[in-house]
Chain A
Amino acid sequence: MSEGEANGAGAPILVVEDLRVAYDTLAGPAMAVDGVSFSLKAGERLGLIGESGSGKTTMAMALLRLIRAPGRIVKGRVLLDGRDILTMSVGELREARLRDIALVPQGAMSSLNPVMLLEEQIADGILAHAPRTPRAELARRIEALLRGVGLDPSVARKYPHQLSGGMKQRAVMAIATSMRPRVIVADEPTSALDVVVQRQVMQTLGRLQGGLGAAVVLIGHDMGLIAQFADVVGVMYAGKLVELAPVEEIIAAPRHPYTRLLIDSLPSIAAKKRLIGIPGLPPRLVDLPPGCSFAARCPYAFARCRTETPSLQSTGGNRSAACHLYPEAQALPPLGAASGEARP
């Protein structure tokens, strides 16, 4: 599924190394992102999937250094073309946002300033990076951007409350791509939209990304959506990246037990089957138990899982998983008879 250009060898455009973000709570720090590393080449689409509390939104915010108190970035590097976003000066950071790395935020409904015309909000971003853009040029660019996301240019003279949810999400994408960024971070861009609109918006995002040759990090909770869009899928659980693999492979043969149970729990329209959820509850991020965070819910767990935290390791090919079953196992062994369900 990966684009031809993505395969063209080249240095990764985005490298995340051992990123850790903590939230200070009254009960102590909660590690919302706990040692995540990955890298992305131009044109590549990474989907980060996780449930609420898995740290996926924190991850998106950290990539743009938008973490606010009580959250703080504890350590790690976010290298954008070799420059660390987390240590650059405030002025450089402002320059880099939108021009190099852009955000398509979660709540498009609430991400637009309710008292500003759409054209002013688009112009704001452009003028912040190119203050001397002539008016005529600005108007031309705004029109082109709106057309690019499938909106009528007359929308420029409207206020956010005059737009539908799908239109707002498109407007936000127009802003995000206004400076032709090289990395787009899309944080659940369709979470409040109906399925048809969701599909339209995601396809538009895909087209924009293709046109710019930008890398995309798509954050989401819906495996189906991620699978439709991404080339590579990263699965997050309790702040950690527990599996990273190309999309077809991860769906056909997940390596991490959590990924497998998650995929198994998805309803499909291929055949009726008994729906089986994952037993237990996601852990609270404050005072995590020692060992693997998923051990308590894992049907494969053994003694080592409860004492030693597994780190992300290669499991062959371009796949990796954070699980003590590897490297001994070649693939995830079938579940015992207890689950009552055979692998497809």
Chain B
Amino acid sequence: MSRELATYVLRRFAQLLLIVFIAVSVNFLIPRLLPGDPVETAIARLQAGGGQQSVDVQAVAKVYREKYGLDQPLGAQYLNYWRDLFHLELGVSFANFPEKVSTKLANALPWSVGLLSLATLIAFSAGSLLGALLAWPGAGHAIRAIVPALMVLASIPFYLLAIIIIYVFAVVLKVLPPAGGFDTTRIARLDLGTVLDVVKHAVLPLCAIVLGNVGFWALGMRSQMVSVLGEDYITFAEAKGLGPWRIFFRYGMRNAMLSQVTALALAMGAVLSGAVLVEVVFNYPGLGTLLYVAIRGQDYFVIQGVVLLLIVTLAILLFIIDLLYPLLDPRIRR
């Protein structure tokens, strides 16, 4: 038992390392594999598109050349790349030269992680419960009317949903702020007012991600639950004379959740991609917006840094989900 568990954890950890390895290698290789000298291309782009900020192009070019080290053999470049990573040396931002990329990432990360995990948690639990109820014969008829709505929600990309939500709630109804993570005119202080302000700004982006996800989880759970309810152990539980809610939660949902959690691990990548765009639409101060601004400003090291961080964050989230799975399933087999 414990040995199987150890094998399982080790395997999952290897998967985590593999994802990080792929992410780093892709980041390293793609600029070098694509035609043209990446440094020249980047500088040319910077000069062409960098009208809005005054950049010391020479300084930037110097940093670029050092960072890339194109005169060295590829293997050495690759090793250097890894060494820099271990020192969290991700380069500097051009848009805010010479601010370090790692500082920018550190500022943005909490916003993204907070928004994403809260939204996923809400959407996943609410969706799963809703889906289980949809499959439950004793749950009344009215609830089934929402299935078409769930189908529509599940199919629309949630950054489009975000646009609609902003228009309705911030532009037409004007009940909540349309953009940002906090009121920039406030003095940063940890008090109730600040907290409320942050919460107020988070409501709409949160809603966009939750609404965009809840249908997916509900429909997935419904079909899982339908198949679980057909299992023999449900019939036997009924034959034992158990009450309906006991059967619903301990025998039905408890088992249907196993595949829901597996699905969660598989869907996190898509959820994260969608959340990045929601941040952009709301100009939310997280990684998504940082990425967007960096792309617009051709701030290449920032782009790389965000991409790397997104992948690693996700890999760690998945690893956590994987570690939780054996708690749910005593068989630890997948």
Q: Which residues of A contact B (CB under 8 A)?
A: 61, 64, 66, 68, 93-99, 102-103, 105-107, 110-116, 124-125, 128-129, 159, 161, 172, 175
A159:B241 contact, CB within 8 angstroms? no
Residue count of chain B within 8 Å CB distance of chain A:
22
> What's the nearest-Cβ distance from chain A to residue B285, in Å?
41
Subset of 5 A-B contacts with CB under 8 Å: A66-B239, A95-B241, A98-B241, A105-B235, A161-B331
A128:B239 contact, CB within 8 angstroms? no
B238:A124 contact, CB within 8 angstroms? no
- State in angstroms the CA–CA spacing of A99 and B242 once bound together: 11
Given contacts A124-B246, A128-B243, contact A115 B238 (CB under 8 A): no
Which residues does chain A contribute within 8 Å of B237, judged by CB atoms? 113, 124
Describe B's contact surface by its main secondary structure: helix
B243:A66 contact, CB within 8 angstroms? no
Which of the 9-residue segments B64-72, B211-219, B248-256 touches chain A? Answer: B248-256
- State in angstroms the CA–CA spacing of A64 and B240 once bound together: 10
- State in angstroms the CA–CA spacing of A103 and B234 once bound together: 13
- State in angstroms the CA–CA spacing of A141 and B43 once bound together: 79
- State in angstroms the CA–CA spacing of A125 and B241 once bound together: 7
* Known A99-B241, A128-B243, A172-B236; 9 more pairs at CB < 8 Å: A106-B232, A112-B236, A113-B237, A113-B250, A113-B254, A113-B255, A116-B251, A124-B240, A175-B240
Q: Which of A97, A113, A114, A116 has the most CB of B within 10 A?
A: A113
B232:A115 contact, CB within 8 angstroms? no
Which residues does chain B contribute within 8 Å of A98, judged by CB atoms? 239-241
> What's the nearest-Cβ distance from chain B to residue A169, in Å?
12
> What's the nearest-Cβ distance from chain A to residue B333, in Å?
8
Q: Smallest CB-CB separation from A94: which chain B residue? A: B241
Q: How many A-B pairs with Cβ below 8 Å?
A: 79
A110:B231 contact, CB within 8 angstroms? yes
A111:B236 contact, CB within 8 angstroms? yes
Is B97's beta carbon under 8 Å from chain A? no
Is B73's beta carbon under 8 Å from chain A? no
Given contacts A115-B255, A115-B328, contact A110 B232 (CB under 8 A): yes
Is B329's beta carbon under 8 Å from chain A? yes
B235:A111 contact, CB within 8 angstroms? yes
Q: Smallest CB-CB separation from A116: which chain B residue? A: B250
> What's the nearest-Cβ distance from chain B to residue A170, in Å?
14
Q: Which of B232, B246, B254 makes the CB contact (< 8 A) with A111?
A: B232
Which residues does chain A contribute within 8 Å of B246, judged by CB atoms? 124, 128
A129:B238 contact, CB within 8 angstroms? no
- State in angstroms the CA–CA spacing of A66 and B232 once bound together: 12
> What's the nearest-Cβ distance from chain A to residue B270, in Å?
28
> What's the nearest-Cβ distance from chain A to residue B233, in Å?
5
Is B140's beta carbon under 8 Å from chain A? no
- State in angstroms the CA–CA spacing of A44 and B36 once bound together: 90
Q: Smallest CB-CB separation from A93: which chain B residue? A: B241
Q: Smallest CB-CB separation from B242: which chain A residue? A: A128
Q: Which of B233, B254, B329 has the most CB of A within 10 A?
A: B233
Q: Which of B241, B250, B251 has the most CB of A within 10 A?
A: B241
> What's the nearest-Cβ distance from chain B to residue A194, in Å?
20
A103:B236 contact, CB within 8 angstroms? yes
A96:B233 contact, CB within 8 angstroms? no
Which residues does chain A contribute within 8 Å of B232, judged by CB atoms? 105-107, 110-111
- State in angstroms the CA–CA spacing of A114 and B242 once bound together: 17
Which residues does chain A contribute within 8 Å of B231, judged by CB atoms? 110
- State in angstroms the CA–CA spacing of A186 and B104 once bound together: 68
- State in angstroms the CA–CA spacing of A175 and B232 once bound together: 15
- State in angstroms the CA–CA spacing of A116 and B330 once bound together: 8
Q: Smallest CB-CB separation from A129: which chain B residue? A: B241
Is B258's beta carbon under 8 Å from chain A? yes
> What's the nearest-Cβ distance from chain A to residue B130, in Å?
22
Which residues does chain B contribute within 8 Å of A116, judged by CB atoms? 250-251, 254
- State in angstroms the CA–CA spacing of A94 and B138 once bound together: 15
> What's the nearest-Cβ distance from chain A to residue B146, in Å?
22
Given contacts A113-B255, A114-B330, A128-B246, contact A105 B240 (CB under 8 A): no
Q: Smallest CB-CB separation from B236: which chain A residue? A: A111
> What's the nearest-Cβ distance from chain B to residue A90, in Å?
9
Q: Smallest CB-CB separation from A175: which chain B residue? A: B240
A115:B235 contact, CB within 8 angstroms? no
- State in angstroms the CA–CA spacing of A124 and B251 once bound together: 11
B330:A115 contact, CB within 8 angstroms? yes
A112:B243 contact, CB within 8 angstroms? no
Q: Smallest CB-CB separation from B332: which chain A residue? A: A161
Q: Which are the 3 A-B pairs with shortest beta-carbon distances?
A: A97-B241, A103-B239, A125-B240
B242:A124 contact, CB within 8 angstroms? yes
B255:A94 contact, CB within 8 angstroms? no
A114:B236 contact, CB within 8 angstroms? no
Which residues does chain B contribute within 8 Å of A95, judged by CB atoms? 241
Q: Which of A61, A113, A128 makes the CB contact (< 8 A) with B241?
A: A128
B233:A110 contact, CB within 8 angstroms? yes
> What's the nearest-Cβ distance from chain A to residue B164, in Å?
39
- State in angstroms the CA–CA spacing of A187 and B241 once bound together: 18
Query: Digit string of B250-274 for contact with A (CB within 8 Å is 1, else 0)?
Result: 1100110010000000000000000
- State in angstroms the CA–CA spacing of A263 and B251 once bound together: 42
A114:B331 contact, CB within 8 angstroms? yes
Which residues does chain B contribute within 8 Å of A103, judged by CB atoms? 236, 239
- State in angstroms the CA–CA spacing of A300 and B330 once bound together: 58
- State in angstroms the CA–CA spacing of A125 and B329 once bound together: 22
Q: Smallest CB-CB separation from A106: which chain B residue? A: B232
